[in-house]
Amino acid sequence: MLVGMRLRKKIHRIKPRIKNFFSKKILARLDEEGIFLAKLYYFFLDSSFNREMLSVLLGKKVHNSRNENLESNQAFLRRSTHRIEKGLIVPKQKKHYALGYIYDTCRILRVTYKDIDEKSLSWVVDVLDAYFKRADDTLDVIKKSKKEFDAIRSKISIQQEPNIKSIPFEHKELEASKIAFSDYLKLTERRHSVRYFENGLVDKTLIENAVSAGLQSPSACNRQPFEVLVLQDKNVISKAVELPMGVQTFKDEIKNLAIVLGDLSYYSEERDRHIIYIDSGLFVMSFVLGLEAQGLSSCVINWPDIEERENSLYKQFKIPKHKRCICFIAFGYAKSKGLVPFSEKKEASDIVMYNEYSNR
Ligand SMILES: Cc1cc2nc3c(=O)[nH]c(=O)nc-3n(C[C@H](O)[C@H](O)[C@H](O)COP(=O)(O)O)c2cc1C
281 lines ligand 1 (CB under 6 A): no
188 lines ligand 1 (CB under 6 A): no
Atom of ligand 1 nearest to the CA of 244: 8
Report the largest interatomic distance among the alpha carbons of the chain, rounded to a whole angstrom: 81
Atom of ligand 1 nearest to the CA of 299: 15
Q: Which residue has the higher pLDDT, 45 or 123?
A: 123
**pLDDT, tens digit, for every residue of 263-319?**
999 999 999 999 999 999 999 999 999 999 999 999 999 999 999 999 999 999 999
**pLDDT, tens digit, for every residue of 168-219?**
999 999 999 999 999 999 999 999 999 999 999 999 999 999 999 999 999 9
In 3-state terms the chain splits into helix, strand, coil percentages (rounded to 5) of 55, 10, 35
Q: Which of 303, 301, 330 is nearest to 319 (CA)?
A: 303
Question: Long-range contacts made by residues 341-350, C-beta under 8 angstroms, separation at least 24?
Answer: 341/192, 341/193, 343/192, 343/193
pTM for this entry = 0.93
Q: Which of 251, 299, 324 has the most ligand 1 atoms within 8 A of CB, as the residue to mutate?
A: 299
Q: Which helix (H) or strand (E) holds 329?
A: strand 323-332
Q: What pLDDT is stored for residue 228 in this prediction?
A: 98
**pLDDT, tens digit, for every residue of 270-279?**
999 999 999 9
Task: Give the bridge partners for 261, in sequence order.
Answer: 227, 325
Ligand 1, atom 22, residue with closest C-alpha = 343
The burial class, CB within 10 Å (0-12 / 13-18 / 19+), for 276 is buried
What is the DSSP secondary-structure string of 201-269?
A: PPPHHHHHHHHHHHHTS--GGG---EEEEEE--HHHHHHHTTSSSTTTTTGGG-SEEEEEEEEGGG-SS
Q: What pLDDT is stored for residue 163 in this prediction?
A: 74
**pLDDT, tens digit, for every residue of 331-357?**
999 999 999 999 999 999 999 999 999
247 lines ligand 1 (CB under 6 A): yes
Q: 183-332 has which fold? A: NADH Oxidase (3.40.109)
Q: Which residues make Cβ contacts (< 8 Å) with residue 314, sequence separation at least 6? A: 320, 321
Q: What pLDDT is stored for residue 93 in this prediction?
A: 81
302 lines ligand 1 (CB under 6 A): yes
Q: Which of 134-138, 162-166, 179-183 has the least mean pLDDT? A: 162-166
Domain ranges of the chain: 2-46, 65-153, 183-332
Q: Which of 67-81, 116-130, 149-163, 220-234 has the least mean pLDDT? A: 149-163
Q: What pLDDT is stored for residue 1 in this prediction?
A: 64
56 lines ligand 1 (CB under 6 A): no
Q: What pLDDT is stored for residue 34 in this prediction?
A: 86
Ligand 1, atom 18, residue with closest C-alpha = 193
Position 66 pLDDT exceeds 90: yes
Separation of CA 354 and ligand 1 centre (Å): 29
